[in-house]
Chains A and B, each alone.
Chain A
Amino acid sequence: MTAVVELERVTRTFGAVTALDDVSVTVGEGELVGLLGPNGAGKTTLLSLVSGLRKADSGTVRLFGGDPRHASSRIALGTTPQETGLPPTLTVGEVVDLVARHYPAPMTRAEVLARFGLEELVARQTGGLSGGQKRRLAVALALVGRPRLVLLDEPTTGLDVEARHILWQALRDYHADGATVLLTSHYLEEIEALAERVVVIGGGRVLADDTLTSVLGLVGLRRVLFSVPRVDAVDLARLPGAASAQQGADGRWTVLASDADRVVRALVEQDVPFEGLEVRGASLEEAFLTLTQKKEEVVR
């Protein structure tokens, strides 16, 4: 399999902040990869290295085997502008033409507008589009050059459910034609809907890189909260089904559990005198934190 994107031991800092810390990721032809991570995890930095906007401090970044900072390496790359960034006085058709003419074999204006349901807006200035229309146009601009690799940074943030599903379908169709897609999101739902492989990034490092199902298992944690007078008899973190345990400032314990039912059953079986039991879904943020902690334990 040919590598479309190759990052090898890449580090990039901004002043005192390390955005990417010794990251290695390879994406092969035809893959649909989701980059998942909380805000500030380094996802956007990673995309900007692949699209040639920024340079790695150390390590190598290759795009179709070349340096992404050379225009010729980007000949088969499509990216999206941020929706707020479209030139307000140009019309939808003109912006499509401007971008299309950078590519050797682009889609026709009619084809790309039809794919995204923008036909009727062709003569409208982009400044007069709604947020959802701008978002659709932004993704259309990523595809107009028939790129073999599409980079999408939070493609459907701020869209309503229907618009989101239309965009997802357009991306699935384009991927089905053989293209490689790399998208970032901090919504698990979006990654679930699109990705086949998921790379979880946190604190500038790759925390997990696996199939969608395994990563969903990793991050699909629940929180079990309760108070106990004393816990010296039981190690809560080692209860069956538990991933980690932590005592909050108010004295209540939070056990992050991959299987909350087993944790509760074990608490009862071991006669732990718990009070005020609650079971809640864990946020993605918390799931990432457990992943980070596990990683550190392994390193230790």
Chain B
Amino acid sequence: MSTVLAPRPFWSLAVLHARFQFLETVRIPIAVIGNLLFPSLALLFFVIPQRAVADDPGIATAAIAQLGVFAVMSTCLFSFGVGVSEDRALPFDPFLRTLPAGAGPRLVGRVLNGVLWSYLALVPLVLLGTFLTAATLTPGQAVAAIAMVPAVAVPFLLLGLAIGYRLSSKAAIAVVQATLFPLAFAGGLFLPPEAFPGWLDTLSKFLPSRAARDLAVQAVTGYEAYAGALVVILAWTAVFAALAVTAYRRDEGRRFH
């Protein structure tokens, strides 16, 4: 009783959890490879063969940016939505909560891990874009793109948490897939919004995926996002944050039955 021991610092615990979550993810590579591969395949099969798109620096860069938004979105929804619900099913999770660390470091570790995987998901897209299309970035735009990744990641990460804390892992996989693809399509991540009929374009402007896409495209090409894109994404971020917090609190009450 003589020695007073202080808990380990918050950030070293957060990094510790991020590291071990990274290890856990990387050892089941199929989950990650799916995430990394799909956007690159879409680029390879649907964008690169269309030389009118691939050879135009502006349009090619925009196409890569929208697939990049998709890559970040799917990484966040899968690693947070499905990952959190799988963790909750493991008895290791309550064990970790008895260690001298709050829920904070583990959650922050998950965020760090999600952002890291988002960057990794962009690597094949950037490589394909550089070597097989006319896409280009000025140094300023490259910095903007790097800064955009966490900004795009946060709302979808919160949505993932809301799903992961509310649903069992089987239900979470289904809900993530049912959310991801319609949001991506209607948000103009597969087909550019210019190809949309008028009603879909209008609807699309209220979606977080469309707002994220337009802001990302603006950051790397200078094509102006529609007015209100920033408001739409901030509003959705607030909604998803509220949903995530409610889901987390309900889970605390329900888990213990």
List residues of chain A with CB under 8 Å of any chain B CB: 2, 14-15, 29, 48, 51-54, 71-72, 74-77, 79-82, 84-87, 89-90, 94, 98-99, 101-105, 125, 141, 145
Contact = CB atoms under 8 A, between A and B. Distances in A.
B102 A53 contact: no
A125 B26 CA distance: 14
Nearest to A148: B1
Contacts of A102: 8, 13, 16, 99-101
A14 B24 CA distance: 34
7 nearest A-B residue pairs (beta carbon): A85-B91, A81-B95, A89-B27, A85-B92, A51-B98, A82-B91, A102-B99
Contacts of B1: 2, 29
Report, as a range, how many residues of chain B touch the other chain. Answer: 20 to 34
Contacts of A105: 5
Interface in B88-106: 90-95, 97-102
Contacts of B226: none
Contact of A53 (B16, B27, B94): B94
Contacts of B7: 71-72, 75, 104
Contacts of A53: 94, 97-98, 256
Contact of B8 (A54, A79, A86, A101): A101
B6 A52 contact: no
B245 interface: no
Query: Which label, helix, strand, loop or mixed, suits the secondary structure of the A interface?
Result: loop
A74 B95 contact: no
Given A81-B92, A94-B20, A71 B5 contact: no
A89 B28 contact: yes
B23 interface: yes
B170 interface: no
Given A75-B6, A89-B27, 4 more contacts: A2-B1, A75-B100, A102-B101, A103-B100
Contacts of A101: 8, 12-13, 16
A2 B256 CA distance: 31
A224 to B, nearest CB: 42
Contacts of A104: 5-8
19 contacts: A71-B101, A71-B102, A72-B6, A72-B7, A72-B100, A81-B91, A84-B91, A85-B90, A85-B92, A86-B92, A89-B23, A89-B24, A90-B27, A94-B20, A101-B12, A102-B100, A103-B8, A105-B5, A125-B27
Interface in B1-27: 1, 5-8, 12-13, 16, 20, 23-24, 27
A71 B10 CA distance: 11
A141 B98 CA distance: 12
A145 B6 CA distance: 13
A79 B257 contact: no
Contacts of B24: 87, 89-90
Contacts of A103: 8, 100
Nearest to B97: A53
Contact of A77 (B20, B27, B100, B102): B100
A104 to B, nearest CB: 5
Contacts of B92: 81, 85-87
A268 to B, nearest CB: 54
A94 B27 CA distance: 13
Contacts of A2: 1
B6 A98 contact: no
A90 B19 CA distance: 11
A87 to B, nearest CB: 6
